[in-house]
Structure 1
């Protein structure tokens, strides 16, 4: 039986903003059968700030590394996620409910209890070497960010890129962290061979908003600097205006496209906020804590774009939404791109013909 927590807003486990974290609570996942509440033991003070949970990274020895999909909404068939969970803490992240499969919460757990796939490069080399492997671009960052802060230490994304570069295998990258600049020594030569295209996700141009919405991602201006740095180094880098949250981030659509074009971007995309499973409650919680005067209006607009529901998982509409507000966003985005010469060429032009399977290890070593 699932126990329901009390509705008293002054209870000990009531949601509260935690500096450096996106979620304000740690609700049970949808697969758990028991709900837990904290009880006051007499030591808690009303003026005591909420605890700031530490990031804990667990080594995961994955069994496979390439994920495949046939979704008509996604422009790639293969992807790699070097990490489970994401320290960026973006409260809107559609990947949060995936932590439920680990018997963990989509809330604080998702951004503090992380898993590093330390054998990713080893598995990738084995999968690329399989007989009959058909080369198609691999996306890094489809679920969780490949350049989240822990990548600075673990360097798993870099090890994956090293294998892809060695095999002349094309890839795309989606990130919201300027740490991608670290790997320009790998990305620039790959770009010359038409093997890589990057996208940096920018949701707004407001640093204060970003610090609560996506607290451990790079600041918006820093992400645009990364777009400029990659393009200046010859690595084609576009921008993703994603996700667009009505009455919270949509006001920056035109400015982001303009700034991205000035940074050399020639491709751009966008998505509308999605609220699968536990995510809808986490986002409602964030709205009530950060923009309470607009919370009801924001959720009303979301439901208008989702056929009267909090979420619409149907292919064809889940990324862009439907209805008048969704159509308005679509028109604004297209006009902004046309004005600044973005998306003139939708094909990313990645070359799959150069792919060379990795050489199998030999007991005699590499003599030639």
Structure 2
């Protein structure tokens, strides 16, 4: 592994021991009401050596939930549950950023507390299935958010960020990626609005910038990160050709850069020219995740000057002591994909750690 990977780094208010982090990954282990319990605290606590732990997507409201057993951060019970997670991470020397994820149209009434129709920028279905307790079902056509409801969504994010800090988290990450609500606003094929939140690049970016500004005001800009995934074709989204994507995200990142957030987290799908433009425009830390990296490639973007931190996904799922394994050149455990979302401890907290005689 490269020497730069092991250098300390200051991210907002926290001091990190190295340049690795835990990427946000849905695991579906929260209680039915969205409260993360002791098993969740154990899972994150096991991985505290990663330094910066970005939680799985966590809904800011009933409307924000898409999948079964995903956590929330908007009720007193949620706050108490996350306090246990934060304590476990802090006890292990790590820091926690809770990812705030509103799924928008990627939802089904069977999976939400209020059993209502999903909401979205426009009444356009993603034309795909989602898993429910009764098996896969087609996602219904969502209801278009009114202007007043958009302001309510912004307020929900603000409340969720305040709740995260009350729970002991070190910060929050805004999920503007991977086909969910904010990404839907950015994508022309999911956003057909003709008001201030649709049409032009500036209008499609508006809700993302307004949420980031609201959270910076609420908890401090140095406690707020944001994740983007330019051209990521998840959730039925199509953001257009390369030049359209570049224009959209250069504008958005330029607007967000003025807020001096703690970091920009890019789920990267291959446009290195666009990534370099982010590096030039962004004033603070840049986190980059790429699909399919090998163990040997983990530090490449840091060495190449394109990133400051390399979050780990699947490697960290199967190896709670992945930091030690990388330092020592030890073999990795193999991931069991069948247990990713299965519930319980199997494939969650039972992966073995290194033992030394």
Question: Do these two structures clear the TM 0.5 threshold for a shared fold by scoring above it?
Answer: no
Report the TM-score when normalising by structure 2.
0.40
Q: Please, what TM-score do these two structures have when normalized by structure 1? A: 0.39
